[in-house]
Amino acid sequence: MMLVNGRQQTHIAVADRGLHYGDGLFETIAVRDEMPQLWDRHWRRLSQGCRRIGIEGVNPEELRNESLEACADIEQGVLKLIITRGEGGRGYRPAAGHATRIVATYPWPEYPADNWRAGVAVRMCTTRWGRNPALAGMKHLNRLEQVLARREWDDPGIAEGLMLDDLGHVISGTMSNLFTVTDGRLQTPQLKECGVEGVMRGLILDIAREAALPWEETSLSAQGLREANEVFVCNAVIGLWPVRLIEQQAYAIGPVTRWLAERVSAAQRSVKHQEK
Task: Write down the least CB distance from residue 178 to a second copy, Å.
Answer: 16
Decide if residue 212 touches a second copy (CB under 8 A). Answer: no
The whole-angstrom separation of Cα 191 and Cα 50 is 18
Q: 84 vs 177, which CB is nearer to a second copy?
A: 84
Decide if residue 19 touches a second copy (CB under 8 A). Answer: yes
For the beta carbon of residue 15, count every other beta carbon within 10 angstroms: 11
Q: 142 vs 229, which CB is nearer to a second copy?
A: 142
Task: Write down the least CB distance from residue 108 to a second copy, Å.
Answer: 12
Phi, psi of 203 (to 5 degrees): -65, -45
Do residues 149 and 125 lie in contact, with contact meaning Cβ atoms separated by under 8 Å? yes
Three-class DSSP category at 137: strand
Decide if residue 15 touches a second copy (CB under 8 A). Answer: yes
Task: Write down the least CB distance from residue 15 to a second copy, Å.
Answer: 7
**Among 23, 66, 197, 230, interactor with a second copy by CB under 8 A:** 23
- Per CB under 8 A, contacts with a second copy among 131-150 are 131-132, 134-135, 140-150
Decide if residue 99 touches a second copy (CB under 8 A). Answer: no
Q: 82 vs 186, which CB is nearer to a second copy?
A: 82
Q: Collect all residues with Cβ–Cβ distance below 8 Å to 123 and sequence separation of at least 6.
A: 152, 153, 158, 160, 161, 162, 246, 247
Decide if residue 174 touches a second copy (CB under 8 A). Answer: yes
Decide if residue 14 touches a second copy (CB under 8 A). Answer: yes
Decide if residue 22 touches a second copy (CB under 8 A). Answer: yes
Task: Write down the least CB distance from residue 87 to a second copy, Å.
Answer: 10
Residues paired with residue 106 on neighbouring β-strands, in sequence order = 78
Decide if residue 97 touches a second copy (CB under 8 A). Answer: no
Three-class DSSP category at 73: coil
Cβ neighbourhood burial of 160 (10 Å; 0-12, 13-18, 19+): buried
Three-class DSSP category at 178: strand
Task: Write down the least CB distance from residue 242 to a second copy, Å.
Answer: 20
* 80-91 burial: b if 16+ Cβ within 10 Å, else e: bbbbbbbbebee
Q: Footprint of a second copy on this chain (CB under 8 A)?
A: 2, 4, 9-23, 26, 53-54, 82, 84-85, 90-94, 102, 104, 109, 127-132, 134-135, 140-151, 166, 174-175, 194
